[in-house]
Amino acid sequence: MRTHRGGCHCGNLRLTLRLTQPPQAVRLRACGCSFCRANQTRTASDPNGAVEIWADDWSEVSKYRFGTGTADFLVCRRCGIYLGAVAETEGGIRMVTNTNCLEDRALFTGTPAPTDHDGETVESRIARRAANWTPTTIHA
């Protein structure tokens, strides 16, 4: 496992991402939704990896939901940085991480593949996340 640390600009939100591939080999995605386009995200996940998330003050973290309402987009209320999206699946909490919030983001050199999930049913969306997103532990 390779460990990557990151967080928001002000330091309230922090994460540790463990991936089974080197950053150069990680498949990056550029979601086509309006939120991700506005934030110019480059997201990554690893179903065999792990993510841990901490906040100094969870009341300063926005858990923004839109569209199908099946994921929480974690945004720091203080500095506005978007860490990634978390969703509950049958296999537990899973996350897709915005690599732009990682300290070593420059190592993630792949070109993000455009994605579009507009036609997905809620069931297929949750199943895709369970199969592809990274298992996550959120520390309260």
User: Which pLDDT value is given to residue 131?
Assistant: 93
Class of domain 2-138 as given by CATH: mainly beta
Question: Over the stretch 66-121, which tens digit does the pLDDT of each residue have?
Answer: 888 899 999 999 999 999 999 999 889 999 999 999 999 999 999 998 877 778 88
Q: CB count, 10 Å around CB of 32? A: 12
pLDDT of residue 108: 97
pTM here? 0.92
Q: How many CA atoms lie within 13 A of 99 on its CB side?
A: 25
Q: What percent of the chain has pLDDT over 90?
A: 75
- How high is the pLDDT of residue 83? 96
In the structure, what pLDDT confidence band is assigned to residue 36 with cuts at 50, 70 and 90? confident
When comparing pLDDT for 115 and 19, which is higher?
A: 19
Sign of CA dihedral 78, 55, 82, 7: positive
Asked whether residue 32 carries a pLDDT value surpassing 80, the answer given is no
Distance between CA atoms of residues 112 and 41, nearest Å = 9
For 103, which DSSP code?
T
Average pLDDT over residues 3-7: 98
Average pLDDT in the chain = 93
45-56 exposure pattern, b = at least 16 Cβ within 10 A, e = fewer: bbeebbbebebe
Question: Do 78 and 72 meet the contact criterion of CB atoms below 8 Å apart?
Answer: no
- pLDDT for the residue 91: 87
pLDDT at 21 over 90: yes
